[in-house]
Structure 1
Amino acid sequence: MKVNKAQRLIQLIMLVNERRKFTIQELADECGVSRRTMIRDLTELSELGVPLYSQPGAHGGYRVLREKVLPPISFTEPEAMALFFACQSLQNYKSLPFDDEVNTALQKFMHYMTADRKAAIQRMQESLVFWIPPHDLDLPCLRDLLEAALEQQTVHIVYEAKERSERDILPLGVYTVNGLWYCRAYCGVAKYMRVFRVDRVKTCLPAADNNLTYNIASEEANIRHWVMQMEDRDLVELVVELTPEGVRRCQSEIWLSQSIEVHEDGSGVIDTHISESYLNWAAHFFLGFGLEAHVRQPVALRGQIGRLLQELSNQYRS
């Protein structure tokens, strides 16, 4: 059956996206058209923005550059609005692995929306907010770490925590919690899996040796599965007594708000569980509450707060 030109071009976009390399004659034979027609079709694809690259010579041909173009996709207006607000939910992040792409996608959706739908989106933007805690942190290596995880490539990083260090890591993936980005990776120095704060990764380059490997179970390698199960590992009981002011402050914290039992006088108590790996962070967090919070459990957290208080006292001792 003979297809019209528009159908043929859509078919052609899908064909060239599937292949790393192809010749004009191969595509002409597959689409059932002449070589001359195929040359015209490829020229039109190029004019439409499909990034084609020609390689001359006996073994040459065409290939599509990395940024492949999808064929036209039809959306209903409610579907388009849903995708628009899915992108909008990311707007409070200072950095994303695909900042520019989110903005251009939103611009394309808005360009093709009818006037009444644009007005509806404007009204919804005023009534619906996806809020995350703002962090003014630079993430120069976020996209590089994600691409290294996708390509299973070892990278060499400069990492600044308490001290500046350099190491080779094999990233498994990135995730975000409360506006902060993290990278889970196998560390060539520590020889075990570690979680790195992405804002502390200052440089990220392909490693000189790409042979860093780590044998892990498939469910452990799946970063989404690992994050979803994070709350079930290495947990200790967290019990904190709060004054009314302490309750108000903790209610604004996403990770604590559902774990507070509020008493009639406005005071309350936190009774939940926390991963041992977060105890150092929790010590600094609750220390900032002063007399508004009294940590009862775990003992290890009480000890860390006590040591921080001693260090603080020494710092300001005359």
Structure 2
Amino acid sequence: MKKSERMNQMLRYINQKQQFTLQDLMQEFQISKRTAIRDIASLEELGAPIYVEYGRYGGYRLLQQMQLPPISFNTGELHALYVAMQALRSFSSLPFQVSFRTIHEKFMSALSDKQRQDIENIQHRVSFRHTEQIRDSAHLEFLLMAAVQNIVIQITYANQRRTTDQRPSSAHTNIRTIQPITLYAMKGYWYCQAYDLQKQAYRVFRCDRIISAEVSDIEPLAHVIKLHAKDTHSLWEPSPHAIPFQCQIDEAGVELFQQEHFPSMQIIHVNESENEPAQMLLVGSYETYELDFIVRYLAGFGKSIKIMEPEMLKESLRQYYMDLLDHI
């Protein structure tokens, strides 16, 4: 990183932190103690009101917040921003209803001729061939802000049965009270991970099936507020009637699992020793009403898995393959 760029980033860092030490700067910017001292001197020359506090718990303090210069991006950062925008092109629905076309025009107009030429070359050299968004989701911004602000909301949710014109029938909807936690996109759909207050359990909702959403007057649950997106699996618990399953899985199957899996399942390693590699197992559980779903999911692994138990799941998968042969 060039010194001028590091100075710019360091100004923003200390302006936000207000109080810092040499060790903070060394760790944040991966520089030596001598470089950190020289950088502080350079910041003071730029007019940063830095005050030194001596003693065991001393360090540096910013006397007042500064007016920072406009944010600028280097060439690598501009390229990264453009590639990130390209990755979003397949989504017809995004939080905040952003227009890719408008953002793209503003972005390109702010570039120099050389930068614009580089971006146009990148456009012809990189593409993202992931799944196109299958259905629009009308309430993404509302769901995201409810998750950010820890708000309990009430939604009208449609089940999988739809009318012939793909609109949900009123007979197949229900009212749910949920506390959203996080949003994610996978295989052409947006999903909302949330805590269902009626079920008192973790649930995942397809965002395109949410017909309406509004704020409720219910106080948010404290134990849900403390969760981060990476902790949401801890909310999931099987019911007393859930059926455990176990499958042998190979390396190719593990890659498929990493592309798509659910909170009710995991990969474990067993029988590991110095002389033999560990055997990999796909283990988990499913509810009785999820049998068709779990059969279709496991069928996607092909020869990469072998069901060990239960026998009923093994027979159901065998019947699934027989039904497929009947349609050939």
> TM-score, structure 1 length as denominator?
0.54
Find the partner of 2:200 among 186, 191, 194: 191
- The size of the alignment, in residue pairs, is 219
TM-superposed deviation, 1:104: 3.2
SS of residue matched to 2:88: coil
Deviations 1:134-192 (A, max 9, x none): 24112112221112112222221111225521111111221223443221212121122
The alignment-based identity, stated in percent, is 23
Find the partner of 1:146 among 115, 131, 144: 144
SS of residue matched to 2:98: helix
Distance between the aligned counterparts of 2:317 and 2:151, measured in 1?
40
Q: Which residue identity is paired with 1:296? A: K
SS of residue matched to 1:184: strand
Q: What is the match of residue 91 of structure 2?
A: 93
Q: What is the match of residue 75 of structure 2?
A: 77
Give the 3 Å change call, closer, same or farther, for CA 298–156 of structure 1 in structure 2.
farther
Find the partner of 2:306 among 296, 302, 307: 296
Does residue 222 (structure 1) correspond to residue 228 (structure 2)? The answer is yes
Find the partner of 1:168 among 162, 177, 186: 177
Q: CA RMSD in A?
A: 4.2
Give the 3 Å change call, closer, same or farther, for CA 238–304 of structure 1 in structure 2.
closer
Give the 3 Å change call, closer, same or farther, for CA 302–113 of structure 1 in structure 2.
farther
Q: Which residue identity is paired with 1:222? A: H
TM-superposed deviation, 1:130: 3.0
Task: Give the stretch that moved more between structures: 296-305 or 123-132.
Answer: 296-305
Give the 3 Å change call, closer, same or farther, for CA 279–89 of structure 1 in structure 2.
farther
Distance between the aligned counterparts of 2:104 and 2:69, measured in 1?
18
**Contact persistence 1:233–1:275 (CA under 8 A):** no
Does residue 213 (structure 1) correspond to residue 213 (structure 2)? The answer is no
Q: Which residue identity is paired with 2:135? A: L
Distance between the aligned counterparts of 2:206 and 2:298, measured in 1?
21
Matches within 5 A, 1:8-157: 72-100=70-98, 102-157=100-155
SS of residue matched to 2:183: strand
TM-superposed deviation, 1:301: 8.9
Give the 3 Å change call, closer, same or farther, for CA 197–217 of structure 1 in structure 2.
closer
Q: Which residue identity is paired with 1:150? A: V
Does residue 285 (structure 1) correspond to residue 297 (structure 2)? The answer is yes
Deviations 1:78-130 (A, max 9, x none): 32222122222222223211342554333222012123322221221222223
Structure 1 segments (4+ residues) deviating >4 Å: 232-237, 250-253, 277-280, 286-289, 292-295, 307-310
Deviations 1:232-258 (A, max 9, x none): 9989643369xxxxx89x9799449xx
SS of residue matched to 1:122: helix
SS of residue matched to 1:127: coil
**Contact persistence 1:157–1:204 (CA under 8 A):** yes
Q: What is the match of residue 203 of structure 1?
A: 212
**Contact persistence 1:155–1:204 (CA under 8 A):** yes
Distance between the aligned counterparts of 2:209 and 2:185, measured in 1?
14
Unmatched runs of 5 consecutive residues or more in structure 2: 1-67, 161-171, 239-243, 262-266, 268-278
**Contact persistence 2:134–2:188 (CA under 8 A):** no
